[in-house]
């Protein structure tokens, strides 16, 4: 048995039953990683020996008759902006090169408590700022479906690792679509939980009112399992919701008969790839055939979402990234002659072009005389976007839409035009602005064999409903495996 073909739930169940060992699971996944990683470049840090030691510890625990966790022996990858104690955490930025995490993120603590095995830290757009993983300071990550194309971003390394069979579960962060967009590009499930449902303690901040940690998996069941493990209140995160995770997962079981699905007019726009629209509408029709009802609706302030996001997120980034000054940790240019020059040289050399661009945008929007005209106005528009969703969810249970306007694009196709790159997240940004639950689930392939994602958006703490709809679609229309489409990545 090649355990790289098993889901996280299947691995945990078989390890607990003694049908397979955690060490064998780890060995299979390391063979896969070593085969595909030279072309994929999904990881910035590999943890082979520590992960094998973790796996052996799981097997010893079982041999002693101790209760095993819900993720016993499951290989997990972490986006490299999530702290894993003692392991280098860089955010794929030169300015954090050499920084070792002094503690575990809350999500890591909860994964460890359930006997997960950590195989590595994955590549991302620097400080999670990007939509293609081309902004990594180290190297770009390739899309497993076509290595000439991007995996999406900013969590491209996590999405690619799961899609290629390097691990059945990886964590990412989503500020404006950074889980859902790469999930769509790589043909996997990507869940952005309700803001506050998952602790941000130990996540290196980009935009604190938008960031949220979530899972990448190959099955909807695994996404629900992962969320059940690491969701829940954390007193160390002041924005953590007091709601128990059980509420979010309520309604997960069952079919979609009577489920009310809304199709927003504003998400089916001129310029969208016709193959994307065709696949998304076909997926919605399939859900309708399974008993759901479908109606058109309007989210009128959607057209302002991208502009609003690129005032709010850079403003928060400008504040959050001020801590990286070349003094306390990470890269420092010590040849400077004064403290001010240390700051200027360290940040000038340590940050990449996209990070600098967003810091400057945010600093300008927050500056004296412009705050009310830009940042404050953007926050008022954000409220209108949230109200649109609140009104919609009085009439429907789920909003269905494309995850991305196009299938995955080629390397270099958008790097010369920042606005074109920003528009890759046009359909995902509104959910972050409103704080809603949302996910991307594979719904088809383009004629050239590239994945297309359906986005399902629910109200706050509506994870159970959108996961139920995604699972119904998954059962009715199983998605192709990469190895069936791309023999070059076959194990």
Lowest-confidence region among 59-73, 310-324, 328-342, 353-367 = 328-342
* CA separation for the pair 151, 191 (Å, rounded): 16
Question: In terms of C-beta density within 10 A (0-12 exposed, 13-18 middle, 19 or more buried), how is residue 400 classed?
Answer: buried
pLDDT tens column, 417-449: 888 898 899 999 999 999 999 999 999 999 999
At 483, is the pLDDT very low, low, confident or very high (cuts 50, 70, 90)? low
pLDDT exceeds cutoff 80 at 402: yes
Beta-strand pair 451-458/398-402? antiparallel
Edge-first strand listing for the sheet containing 117-122: 43-46, 117-122, 75-79, 169-173, 213-217, 189-192, 437-445, 451-458, 398-402, 260-264, 293-297
- Is the model more confident about 346 or about 303? 303
Determine the 3-state secondary structure of 395 from DSSP.
Answer: coil
The enclosing H or E element of 483 equals helix 482-485
The alpha carbon of residue 90 and the mean position of all alpha carbons in its chain are separated, in whole angstroms, by: 17
Q: Report the pLDDT value the prediction gives residue 333, as an integer from 0 to 100.
A: 79
Provide the annotated active-site residues.
79, 154, 178
pLDDT exceeds cutoff 60 at 207: yes
CATH homologous superfamily for the domain 3-300+386-489: Amidase signature (AS) domain (3.90.1300.10)
pLDDT tens column, 148-166: 999 999 999 999 999 999 9
Q: Report the pLDDT value the prediction gives residue 335, as an integer from 0 to 100.
A: 80
- Judge whether 142 and 482 are in contact, CB under 8 Å: no
Range 13-17 contact pairs with CB under 8 angstroms and sequence separation of 24 or more: 15/58, 15/62, 15/68, 15/72, 15/73, 16/62, 16/68, 16/72
pLDDT exceeds cutoff 60 at 124: yes
- Average pLDDT of 253-271? 94
* CA separation for the pair 474, 104 (Å, rounded): 34
Q: Report the pLDDT value the prediction gives residue 486, as an integer from 0 to 100.
A: 53
Q: Quick one: CA torsion of 288, 294, 296, 297, rounded to 10 degrees?
A: -130
Beta-strand pair 169-173/451-458? unpaired
CA angle 407, 409, 410 (to 5 degrees): 150
Give the residue from 433, 479, 446, 185 showing the smallest Cα distance to 308.
Answer: 433
Q: Report the pLDDT value the prediction gives residue 368, as an integer from 0 to 100.
A: 86
- Average pLDDT of 196-214? 98
- Average pLDDT of 319-348? 86
Q: Report the pLDDT value the prediction gives residue 491, as an integer from 0 to 100.
A: 44
Question: For all residues of the chain together, what is the average pLDDT?
Answer: 95
pLDDT exceeds cutoff 60 at 260: yes
- Average pLDDT of 407-416? 95
At 29, is the pLDDT very low, low, confident or very high (cuts 50, 70, 90)? very high
* CA separation for the pair 131, 428 (Å, rounded): 11
pLDDT tens column, 268-287: 988 899 999 999 999 999 99
pLDDT exceeds cutoff 70 at 482: no
pLDDT exceeds cutoff 90 at 357: yes
pLDDT tens column, 40-74: 999 999 999 999 999 999 999 999 999 999 999 99
DSSP state letters, 279-346: HHHHHHHHHHHTT-EEEEE--GGGGGHHHHHHHHHHHHHHHHGGG-SSSSSS---TT-SSHHHHHHHH
Q: Report the pLDDT value the prediction gives residue 480, as an integer from 0 to 100.
A: 74
- Judge whether 195 and 435 are in contact, CB under 8 Å: yes
At 485, is the pLDDT very low, low, confident or very high (cuts 50, 70, 90)? low
């Amino acid at each position: 048995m090649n355990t790289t073909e098993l889901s996280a739930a299947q691995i945990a169940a078989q390890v607990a039953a003694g049908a397979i060992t955690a060490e064998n699971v780890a060995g299979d996944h390391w063979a896969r990683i070593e085969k595909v990683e030279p072309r994929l470049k999904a990881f910035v840090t590999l943890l082979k020996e520590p992960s094998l030691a973790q796996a052996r510890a799981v097997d010893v625990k079982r041999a002693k008759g101790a209760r095993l966790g819900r993720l016993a022996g499951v290989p997990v990858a972490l986006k490299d902006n999530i702290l894993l104690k003692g392991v280098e955490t860089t955010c794929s930025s030169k300015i954090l090169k050499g920084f070792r995490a002094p503690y575990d993120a809350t999500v890591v603590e909860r994964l460890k408590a359930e006997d997960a095995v950590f195989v590595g830290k994955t590549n991302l757009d620097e400080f999670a700022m990007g939509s293609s993983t081309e902004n990594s300071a180290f190297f770009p990550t390739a899309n497993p479906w076509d290595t000439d194309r991007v995996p999406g971003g900013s969590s491209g390394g996590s999405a690619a690792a799961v899609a290629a069979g390097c691990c059945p579960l990886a964590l990412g962060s989503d500020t404006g679509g950074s889980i859902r967009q790469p999930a769509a590009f790589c043909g996997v499930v990507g869940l952005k939980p309700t803001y506050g449902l998952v602790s941000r303690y130990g996540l290196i901040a980009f935009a604190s009112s938008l960031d949220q940690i979530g899972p990448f998996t190959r099955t909807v069941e695994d996404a629900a399992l992962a969320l059940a493990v690491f969701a829940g209140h954390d007193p160390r995160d002041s924005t953590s919701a007091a709601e128990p995770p059980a509420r979010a997962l309520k309604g997960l079981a069952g079919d979609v008969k009577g489920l009310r699905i809304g199709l927003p007019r504003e998400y089916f726009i001129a310029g969208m790839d016709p193959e994307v629209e065709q696949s998304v509408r076909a997926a919605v029709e399939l859900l309708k055939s399974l008993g759901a009802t479908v109606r058109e609706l309007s989210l009128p302030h959607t057209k302002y979402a991208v502009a609003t996001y690129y005032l709010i997120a850079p403003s928060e980034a400008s504040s959050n990234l001020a801590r990286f000054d070349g003094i306390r940790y990470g890269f420092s240019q010590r040849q400077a002659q004064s403290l001010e020059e240390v700051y200027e040289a360290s940040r000038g050399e340590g940050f990449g072009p996209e990070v600098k661009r967003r810091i400057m945008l945010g600093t300008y929007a927050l500056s004296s005389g412009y705050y009310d005209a830009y940042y404050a106005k953007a926050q008022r528009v954000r409220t209108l976007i949230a109200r649109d969703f609140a009104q919609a969810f009085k009439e429907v249970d789920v909003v269905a839409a494309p995850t991305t306007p196009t299938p995955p694009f080629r390397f270099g196709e958008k790097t010369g035009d920042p606005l074109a790159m920003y528009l890759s997240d046009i359909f995902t940004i509104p959910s972050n602005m409103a704080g809603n639950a949302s996910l991307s689930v594979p719904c088809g392939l383009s004629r050239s064999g590239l994945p297309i994602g359906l986005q399902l958006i629910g109200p706050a703490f509506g994870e159970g409903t959108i996961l139920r709809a995604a699972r119904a679609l998954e059962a009715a229309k199983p998605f192709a495996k990469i190895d069936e489409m791309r023999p070059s990545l076959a194990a």
